């Protein structure tokens, strides 16, 4: 099985094997605040944070207004014989006649969920550059290649492109499309859902004001939805067991809480930064590995504003006042450890103010990886972070999760 799916270019037709059963007028877009009022666009030019800009707020206490976020019990058909339904906020219930053959993912989180379940990579994601596949380098049989994957973002997201790809399912939050993508209206989402394939995503890596009417999913809640759509719940259960065993084993070896560092998560403004964009440790999937490792937010209790919620920034003087024990950078591209240190740490050590930072003096400046996490990337990021933060406990060459077990699960060897 190839790790990449070629994009199809057949003329769009209404899929007779899929029945989209959400209530389009009200149920599809619960929590939507309107048609494209926010027009912030993904930015990957390397001059600022490399993730798509967000308009986030503190995580709200959300209540599903359309769907409970659970699948039909036991996966039994709710419509015609052979069909099956999956319920996911905010779209409601979606019924399939068979697992989709071609799929689209909003971001690297959803893409990694499908890959972890043994699927080929999605035909498209919003930004291929933000789908960092270095986590796959040492997974047997899994290529990091993205050569045949389409980037949906091309100065906007074209409706015609989605018709051309002709995916059976889009793991994209419809409210993301309406609130963050220019020139997308409710009717556009409904048209793609009716004529091509449903939108089954839930944006959960960060928080948004338009997301208040339905719940955020944690990583494995979202992965379970993907597994239900593709009828691979047995692989999901195996992945979840591997995750639980791995994280438990790592946590058993962590030092006491009093000996764990407070970390400063930053995105540098350039490779020779004078300004940074801070990220606060939230409750969403983007920060799962930091919470699992029990570290604290160095900016807690300060007046530093998060980039995700307030477009906050910080320069060296206030950063020196806080003086985080460890600095972790979200960067515009994946770099090896050596390349990262040559690019960033060397500059910081030669900088008059930055050189006074404790983290710089101790060499505790590391790559944070991207914000998106799926089952494979989460285990990979947790392993790397554990070695960065606790080198006395976790040897640099030690493997903290079973790569072969992931390969076996992907191939259905459970």
What integer pLDDT is reported at residue 81 of this predicted model?
58
Whether 11 is covered by a domain: the verdict is no
Whether 13 is covered by a domain: the verdict is no
Same domain membership, residue 271 and residue 352: yes
Can you tell me the distance from the alpha carbon of 240 to that of 116, in angstroms, rounded to the nearest whole number? 11
Same domain membership, residue 152 and residue 99: yes
Same domain membership, residue 268 and residue 182: no
Q: How far is CA 263 from CA 105, 145, 323, 368, 380, in A?
A: 30, 32, 10, 10, 19
Enumerate the β-bridge partners of residue 105.
125, 171
Q: What angle do CA 378, 69, 181 make, to 5 degrees?
A: 70
What integer pLDDT is reported at residue 308 of this predicted model?
74
Closest alpha carbon to 138 in 363, 406, 347, 393: 406
What integer pLDDT is reported at residue 193 of this predicted model?
96
Whether 3 is covered by a domain: the verdict is no
- φ and ψ of 63, to 5 deg: -125, 130
Can you tell me the distance from the alpha carbon of 72 to that of 96, in angstroms, rounded to the nearest whole number? 12
What is the four-CA torsion angle of 228, 232, 237, 239, rounded to 10 degrees? Answer: -110
Can you tell me the distance from the alpha carbon of 307 to that of 364, in angstroms, rounded to the nearest whole number? 22
Domain count, the chain: 2
Residue spans of the chain under pLDDT 50: 1-79
Can you tell me the distance from the alpha carbon of 115 to that of 124, in angstroms, rounded to the nearest whole number? 13
Same domain membership, residue 287 and residue 367: yes
Last residue of a domain, one of 185, 211, 232: 232
Same domain membership, residue 39 and residue 138: yes
Same domain membership, residue 280 and residue 227: no
Peptide bond preceding 90: is omega within 30 degrees of 0, i.e. cis? yes
Closest alpha carbon to 261 in 394, 390, 396: 390
Structure tokens at 306: 């998060």
Same domain membership, residue 208 and residue 347: no
Same domain membership, residue 83 and residue 119: yes
Same domain membership, residue 89 and residue 50: yes
CB-based burial, 260-271: b 16+ in 10 Å, e otherwise: bbbbbbbbbbee
Whether 34 is covered by a domain: the verdict is yes
Whether 106 is covered by a domain: the verdict is yes
The pTM (predicted TM-score) of the whole model is 0.81
Whether 308 is covered by a domain: the verdict is yes
Structure tokens at 379: 């285990």
What integer pLDDT is reported at residue 77 of this predicted model?
35
Whether 10 is covered by a domain: the verdict is no
Last residue of a domain, one of 178, 200, 232: 232
Whether 237 is covered by a domain: the verdict is no
Question: Helix or strand or coil: residue 235?
Answer: helix
Same domain membership, residue 292 and residue 198: no
Task: Provide the CATH number for the domain around residue 393.
Answer: 3.40.50.1980
Same domain membership, residue 248 and residue 120: no
Last residue of a domain, one of 232, 252, 274: 232
- DSSP code string of 120-146: PPPSEES-GGG--GGGGTTSTT-----
Same domain membership, residue 72 and residue 140: yes
Structure tokens at 193: 């859902």
Can you tell me the distance from the alpha carbon of 396 to that of 392, in angstroms, rounded to the nearest whole number? 10
Q: Which domain holds residue 254?
A: 243-410
What integer pLDDT is reported at residue 229 of this predicted model?
98
């Amino acid at each position: 099985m190839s790790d990449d799916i070629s994009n199809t270019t057949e003329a769009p037709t209404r899929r007779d094997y899929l029945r989209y059963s959400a209530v389009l007028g009200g149920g599809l877009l619960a929590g939507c605040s309107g048609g494209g009022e926010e027009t912030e666009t993904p930015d990957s030019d390397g001059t600022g944070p490399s993730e798509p800009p967000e308009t986030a707020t503190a995580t709200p206490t959300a209540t599903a207004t359309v769907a409970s976020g659970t699948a039909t019990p036991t996966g039994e058909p709710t419509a015609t014989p052979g069909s099956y339904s999956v319920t996911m906020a905010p779209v409601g219930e979606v019924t399939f006649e068979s697992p989709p053959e071609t799929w689209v993912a909003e971001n690297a989180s959803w893409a990694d969920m499908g890959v972890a379940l043994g699927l080929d990579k999605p035909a498209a994601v919003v930004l291929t550059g933000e789908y960092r596949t270095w986590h796959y380098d040492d997974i047997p049989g899994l290529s990091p290649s993205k050569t045949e994957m389409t980037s949906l973002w091309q100065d906007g997201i074209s409706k015609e492109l989605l018709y051309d790809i002709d995916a059976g399912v889009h793991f994209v939050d419809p409210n993301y499309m309406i609130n963050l993508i220019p020139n997308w209206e409710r009717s556009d989402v409904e048209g793609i859902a009716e004529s091509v394939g449903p939108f089954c995503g839930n944006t959960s890596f960060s928080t948004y004001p338009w997301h208040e009417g339905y719940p955020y999913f944690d990583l494995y809640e979202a992965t379970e939805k993907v597994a239900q759509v593709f009828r691979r719940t047995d692989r999901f259960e195996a992945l979840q067991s591997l995750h639980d065993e791995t994280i438990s084993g790592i946590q058993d070896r962590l030092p006491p809480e009093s000996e764990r560092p407070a970390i400063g998560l930053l995105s540098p403004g350039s490779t020779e930064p004078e300004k940074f964009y801070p990220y606060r440790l939230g409750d969403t999937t983007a920060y799962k590995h930091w919470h699992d490792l029990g570290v604290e937010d160095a900016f807690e209790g300060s007046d530093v504003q998060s980039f995700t919620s307030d477009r906050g920034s910080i320069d060296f003087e206030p950063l020196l006042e806080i003086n985080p024990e460890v600095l972790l950078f979200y960067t515009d591209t994946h770099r090896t450890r050596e390349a990262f240190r040559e690019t960033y740490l060397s500059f910081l050590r030669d900088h008059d103010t930055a050189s006074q930072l404790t983290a710089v003096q101790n060499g505790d400046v590391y790559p944070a990886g991207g914000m998106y996490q799926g089952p494979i990337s989460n285990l990979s990021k947790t392993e790397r972070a554990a070695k960065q933060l606790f080198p006395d406990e976790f040897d640099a060459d030690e493997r903290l999760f079973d790569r072969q077990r992931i390969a076996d699960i992907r191939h259905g060897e459970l």
